[in-house]
């Protein structure tokens, strides 16, 4: 029996249904998108990473379903972890557009605030300092590769930079 619904994608539906069934006890369905612009956005690659983050943070995984995508989110104090499953990769979901707008506004803010010196975030990794990389952008890719103390130092540098603006 063939489904005539243009939004039906059996691989997508199977994957989402399996996640909803498997992790039912730690999932919370949301009617709105609970992302605020003051959070660090961290995009996660798979549901296992989300579950590991949920175990560490002890926060529920919030999911938001649209016609063309399902987004799983964990809201922590300063971060929001997001894992998205999309039916069609050529269409942008609401969550994806919100994340892009937050990231673009943060990138422009931090490029104006943070000084360009030899001890920017790339210097922490020992890589050559060719340009300034905002703390937020750097955290997206490196959050799980640095320890808690280093993350706390980065947050404190960000707070100091924000205080100097006002």
pLDDT at 115 over 60: no
What average pLDDT does the segment 38-52 reach?
90
The encoded tokens of residue 21 equal 């069934």
What average pLDDT does the segment 3-18 reach?
75
Helices (H) and strands (E) in the chain, counts: 6, 5
pLDDT at 107 over 60: yes
Please state, in angstroms and rounded to a whole number, the distance separating the CA atoms of residues 5 and 7: 5
pLDDT digits (tens, 9 = 90+) for 140-158: 444 455 566 677 787 788 7
The encoded tokens of residue 113 equal 């605030």
pLDDT at 74 over 70: yes
Please state, in angstroms and rounded to a whole number, the distance separating the CA atoms of residues 53 and 61: 9
Q: Positive or negative CA dihedral for 151, 142, 87, 21?
A: negative
Greatest mean pLDDT among 58-72, 90-104, 109-123, 132-146: 58-72
Find all residues with CB under 8 Å of 73, minimum gap 6, and list them.
34, 35, 61, 62, 63, 64, 80, 81, 82, 83, 95
Find all residues with CB under 8 Å of 80, minimum gap 6, and list them.
34, 35, 36, 39, 40, 41, 42, 73, 74
The encoded tokens of residue 166 equal 């006002």
pLDDT band, very low/low/confident/very high, at 3 (cuts 50, 70, 90): low
pLDDT band, very low/low/confident/very high, at 83 (cuts 50, 70, 90): very high
CB atoms under 10 Å from CB of 40, counted, come to 23
- 54 and 115 Cβ atoms separated by less than 8 Å: no
pLDDT at 128 over 60: no
Distances (CA, A) of 68 to 26, 43, 74, 152: 23, 18, 20, 37
pLDDT at 29 over 90: yes
């Amino acid at each position: 029996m063939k489904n005539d619904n243009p939004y039906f994608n059996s691989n997508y539906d199977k994957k989402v249904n399996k996640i909803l069934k498997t992790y039912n006890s730690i999932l919370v369905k949301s009617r709105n998108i609970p992302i605020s612009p003051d959070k660090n956005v961290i995009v996660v690659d798979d549901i296992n990473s989300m579950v590991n983050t949920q175990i560490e943070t002890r926060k529920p995984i919030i999911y938001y379903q649209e016609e063309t995508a399902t987004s799983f989110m964990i809201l922590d104090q300063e971060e929001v972890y997001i894992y998205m499953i999309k039916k069609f990769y050529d269409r942008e979901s609401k969550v994806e557009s919100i994340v892009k707008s937050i990231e673009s506004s943060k990138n422009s803010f931090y490029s104006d605030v943070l000084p360009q010196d030899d001890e920017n975030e790339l210097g922490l990794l020992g890589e050559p300092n060719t340009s300034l990389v905002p703390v937020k952008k750097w955290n997206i890719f490196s959050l799980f590769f640095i320890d808690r103390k280093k993350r706390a130092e980065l947050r404190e540098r960000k707070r100091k930079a924000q205080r100097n603006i006002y």
